[in-house]
Amino acid sequence: MCGSLTTWPCQSAGTWANPPDRGRIHFMNQASLSTALLVMVTTMFVATPAATAAPQYSNPRSGNTPRTTTPPVKTTDSDSKADGPAVPTSEAKYYAPLDKADRAALKEHEGWMIPKPTADLKWVGGDSMDRAAFRDKVTVIQSVGGKTSPRTALEKVKRSLPEGVLLLGLHTPDQADRADDILEKDAPCLVAIDASGDWCDALGVWKKPVNIVIDKTGAVRYVGLSEAGLKAKLPALLAEEVDESIEAKEKPDAMGAGATDAKPAVEVKWPEFLAPIDPKSAGDMRGKKIPGFTVAKWLGQRPDPATRLVAIDFWATWCGPCRAAIPHVNELSEKYGQDILFVGISDEKENVFTAGMKKQKLKPTDFRYPLALDPAGTLKDKFFAINAIPHMAIFSADGIVRWQGHPMSLQTEDIDKLIAANRANTKPSAATGATGGRGWAGAATTQKSR
């Protein structure tokens, strides 16, 4: 058949006069073919990128031990969806299943120096650690938080680690107020309690417990490993010998001097609202920082403000003007909910509140914003000294009160100014971009009280 190597060159009937000549010519072309194939194979080998690529390093930022390159492994669809950034199928068992945004936020730091521990961390179970303390040791940072016992969670992880690995617990802001009582007397390891969430944000740690593995250079080597992954990866890290002259490098700040295409941030001043507040109705707390945002009970799921403004409407079921303002607050919440978390807080006891809702024929579904009860009046009485309701207070992601007044007096132009300033001045979390702005900045102030 024309084109077949065994009959090359092509010949049709009547091409050659006699069989001997045809056989001789056929033999000569087979020799030519062998030469051509040899040249072709040699050329293909020389041109292969893997053969000429520079050596890859197990830690490209610190220049640690060289390793050979391997071709990319195709990932399965399920891996890609569950784990976000592609996890090779052959490696999938070594990684814990994580939300796409969670893994993306963590992986931003792989290969770079560990973000600097923040000054407001509370250390339990040992001495505090700075960046230098991570040098020359393998450290596993394990995040804990929420309703799960931090001691139980950390003890389980500790049992799975090989000898010689340092375990550092990182308590997220979720239920951080109870961590002292649980861990201070008998912590299974050193624990950093991050009530503000600043270091969690810098590391890309969110609500789901995750681990971050730091190598002997102080660089983030692995993130989000499973128990099998820890057992498989840690022995090799312990065995590594690190040149003292090699140091992990700082991750360039997307808005800092290390970025080549960074644009300077535009400072937007916070608007000042000068309308006087009647001291008989409430104290003027504008410009001051709230001591914390705690309530006795959320009527439904606790909201997550992330980096939004928070507008608290102090009200009660027995208050006619408060009830009259509900449609207005509903409208604001539906229109500006992406930038402002509206919350209604009553200081009524639960049984009184329930009876009041029934009497006024109100249902939770009548509200387009979360409701909470705080009979102790933590903010209403002790901070704002509110004597007349309804009264609304708006604070920014940094906890500073920016606006106060009757909810019906909150105008669209005021809201637009507040939103513009909050967007411009809110410090992005480590996850910004990959995760759509999720982070503990601001959310830490809404943790439920004990």
Q: 388 or 29: whose pLDDT is higher?
A: 388
Evaluate if residue 81 carries a pLDDT over 90.
no
Residue type, 430: A
Bridge partners for 405 per DSSP:
392
Residue 379 contacts residue 312 (beta carbons within 8 Å): yes
Reported confidence tier of residue 291, pLDDT bands at 50, 70, 90? confident
From first CA to last CA, the distance across the chain in angstroms is 85
Residue type, 190: L
Q: 19 or 358: whose pLDDT is higher?
A: 358
Number of helices (H), then strands (E), belonging to the chain: the values are 11, 14
Residue 443 contacts residue 306 (beta carbons within 8 Å): yes
pLDDT of 427: 53
Coil, helix or strand at residue 405: strand
Residue 189 contacts residue 169 (beta carbons within 8 Å): yes
Evaluate if residue 424 carries a pLDDT over 60.
yes
Name 301's Cβ contacts closer than 8 Å, sequence gap at least 6: 370
- Per-residue pLDDT tens for 7-20? 333 333 333 333 33
Report, in angstroms and rounded to the nearest whole number, the Rg of the chain calculated over CA atoms. Answer: 32
Ranges of H-type helices in 14-129: 19-47, 49-52, 77-83, 100-107
Evaluate if residue 359 carries a pLDDT over 50.
yes
CA nearest to 160, candidates 145, 146, 140:
140
Question: CA angle 85-87-88, nearest 5°?
Answer: 140
Q: What is the token pair recorded at 36?
A: 């051509």
pLDDT of 182: 82
Buried b / exposed e over 19-37, threshold 16 CB at 10 Å, is eeeeeeeeeeeeeeeeeee
Which whole number is the average pLDDT over 233-253?
82
pLDDT of 447: 44
Evaluate if residue 87 carries a pLDDT over 70.
no
Q: 104 or 446: whose pLDDT is higher?
A: 104
Task: Name the region of 17 (left: φ>0; alpha: ψ -120 to 50; beta: rest).
Answer: alpha
- Per-residue pLDDT tens for 298-352? 998 888 887 889 999 999 999 999 999 999 999 999 989 888 999 999 999 999 9
Residue 298 contacts residue 448 (beta carbons within 8 Å): yes
- Per-residue pLDDT tens for 119-170? 989 999 999 999 999 999 999 999 999 888 898 999 999 999 999 999 999 9
pTM as predicted:
0.47
Reported confidence tier of residue 88, pLDDT bands at 50, 70, 90? low
Reported confidence tier of residue 180, pLDDT bands at 50, 70, 90? confident
